[in-house]
Amino acid sequence: MLFNRTIHSFKDARRIAKQRLPWMVFDYIDGAAGSGYSEQLNRETLQKLWLKQQILKNVQKRNIAVPLFMTRPKLPFGIAPMGMCNLSSPKADRLLASLSAQFEIPIGVSTVASTSLEKMNELSNGNAWFQLYLSGRMEGSYRLVNRAKEAGYDTLILTVDVPEVGRRPRELKHGFKMPFQIGARQLIDFACHPQWSISQILLGKPKMANFGGEHGVFDRTESRAAATWDTLAKIRDNWTGNLVVKGVVGVEDSKRLQSIGVDAIQVSSHGGRQLNSSKPAILALRDIREALGPDMKLFYDSGIRNGEDIIKAYAMGANFVFLGRPFSFAVAANGAVGLQEITNLLAEEVSITLAQLGLNDINNVTYDALVKNSVV
């Protein structure tokens, strides 16, 4: 049906979102660094991993919950930090926080979120993790860390793969900027997408809610190239909660992070948005797991689109998995209904995949769940 907005797959969510969103906003969410090769390679590598089916196992009862720090989310996946989510839908941040509270899953609250970090932790019922982009002037970063601490956050995600913002041609083509700016080109784009435009006018232009007034400003294009291991050490000393370092694909970097006492490493190529020739993150995950051993907590994002992908990430060594674009497109496609559909779909696919593998518990997924000659 032409106007059917039911989501049965990531492709459905993306297709419907593409119809509803201005070209500039869609390309901001969907775009990647350079030619998009890194994002494509993330997907191709995941697809080439084969799962090992087992038959005639009693798999009537299946568990898809995993332990995560001192909690046990109801689902084996969480919401990755995403900037300016309210571009997808005027209430996207609030809907994502509500989803987080419903399933007790972590939601990464971006430095450049459309809703303040204090409000997001409240709306998510304390399931929010604050994600920090370092600023060129580190004092602003340290102030944000203190705000997160005062707001009751238990977990800080430090993103380290953005010394400079990756060059993303699809954004540049449309003149996308943060803070959000509107010119003649954008007005034409918005006029072609009246439903999105009217909702944004009624509820206000998206903004970076963690900044302004006493909280200063944030320049997305500002260089963060001055950040060093000493910067990380200072944050580790000042942050008493869980510290997750995100954007890591190197084994040697991972070993050093483990040695200085970070609580978890998030293996990620930023969804292919930073380096066009980055190693596929799923292969980096396996290399890092083998190098660091079984006890180091490893989280994963990049290229995850369905429940089988989630199982593959656990098989390659992840302790928890995060998704970004699927949630962003689902909320753009159909708001709260779209979010529920994509979440239920992912959970069902995870459970069905376990059954196909002859497993009752996602915690029993290991490297043995993969057909070995499928792993590069």
pLDDT in tens, 79-114: 999 999 999 999 999 999 999 999 999 999 999 999
Tell which residue, 280, 376, 354, has the closest CA to residue 310.
354
- What is the pLDDT, as a whole number, of residue 206? 78
The partner residues of 361 in beta bridges, in order of sequence, read 63
**333 within 8 A of 17, measured Cβ to Cβ:** yes
If one counts the domains in the chain, the total is 1
Q: Is residue 3 part of a domain?
A: no
Q: Is residue 191 part of a domain?
A: yes
pTM confidence score: 0.95
What are the backbone dihedrals phi and psi of residue 155, each rounded to the nearest 5 degrees, phi first? -130, 135
Domain of residue 138, CATH code? 3.20.20.70
Residues of the chain with pLDDT under 70: 1-3, 177-181, 213, 219-221, 376
**209 within 8 A of 114, measured Cβ to Cβ:** yes
Q: Is residue 9 part of a domain?
A: no
Q: Is residue 258 part of a domain?
A: yes
Render pLDDT for 180-226 as a digit per residue (tens, 0 to 9).
Answer: 667 777 788 888 888 888 888 787 777 888 987 677 777 666 777 88
On the question of a cis peptide bond just before residue 179, with omega within 30 degrees of 0, the verdict is: yes
- What is the pLDDT, as a whole number, of residue 362? 98
The domain in which residue 176 lies consists of 20-374
